[in-house]
Amino acid sequence: MNRIAVVTGANSGLGEATCLALEADGDRVLRVDLSGCDINADLAQAEGRQEVVRRVEERAPHGVDAVVTWAGGGGPTLDLLRVNYFGTIDIIDGLHPLLAMSKAPRVVVTTSRMSLEPSDATLVGLLLSGDETEIVARYGDETTPQQYYIAAKTAVARWMRRAAIHPRWNDAGIRINAIAPGLIETPRTQKGLAAPAIATWLQAMHPQAEQTLSKATEIGVLARFLASEENSLLIGQCIFADRGTEAILRGDAIW
């Protein structure tokens, strides 16, 4: 029987490319996004995240084999945190029972090279503790989306490392890994590179050893492997699929 995968952020970009790669292998994909998908929900809302879990339970009552979370992006600061962090962790956690039914369960989350930047340690700690109420109380009036994005991606990366080797996940055979994409060839990126000021910023933030924009399909193929039964060895790893950005920024540091 073909594998069943849940992919968030599936309506475009990396999510859509991942869906197409999985479907090319004959897998059944449950696509999740704000609209136009098998399951439509707003992951910025707790009710939306719960709805995704409920709908997946209805459509795949005998288990799912993989969860790949691409939903993210910008927006209002609190929504940015909710989608990028809770929209990843709550979905995966809610689908744990279904993943545990698979003979080769896999989870793939998305992080970012921005997780290498200094982050707000208090905010990261609150995210990891799951204390959304306290986050709203402390940070509800903040207007620093970049710092929120860094904190969210840092927290996702740290959650991935912790969960991957935790008995709750590891004892069930659930392999958890991450992808940190580099600059991807999208209309939005092309528009940014066409504006000198934005292009300078992008190139400074994302230096590359090979001056070629990556295609979403390339990342989709990587996600397909990490979500596959064949990926039995990787546990708790973040793959920087960025044409050398992380290596340039961190040099020969091994941690």
Closest CA to 178 of 69, 66, 49, 24: 69
* Domain positions in the chain: 4-185+214-250
Phi, psi (5° rounding) for residue 59?
Answer: -85, -20
How far is Cα of residue 22 from the mean position of the Cα atoms in its chain?
A: 16
Rounded CA separation 254/223 (Å): 24
Distances (CA, A) of 183 to 51, 244, 255: 32, 11, 23
What local confidence, expressed as pLDDT, does residue 122 receive? 95
Per-residue pLDDT of 103-146, as tens digits, reads 999 999 999 988 888 899 999 999 999 999 999 899 887 777 88
Mean pLDDT lowest among 91-95, 172-176, 195-199:
195-199
Residue 179: phi and psi, rounded to 5, are -120, 130
Give the tens place of pLDDT for each residue, 195-244: 888 888 888 888 999 888 899 999 999 999 999 999 999 999 999 999 99
25 to 54, 165, 184: CA distances (angstroms): 26, 28, 23
Looking at every residue in the chain, the average pLDDT score rounds to 93
- Measured CA angle at 146 (ends 250, 51), to 5 deg: 110
CATH architecture of 4-185+214-250: 3-Layer(aba) Sandwich (3.40)
Q: For residues 226 and 221, what is the distance between their CA atoms, to the nearest angstrom? A: 9
CA separation, residue 193 to residues 65, 172, 207 (Å): 38, 45, 13
Structure confidence at residue 154 as a pLDDT band (50, 70, 90): very high
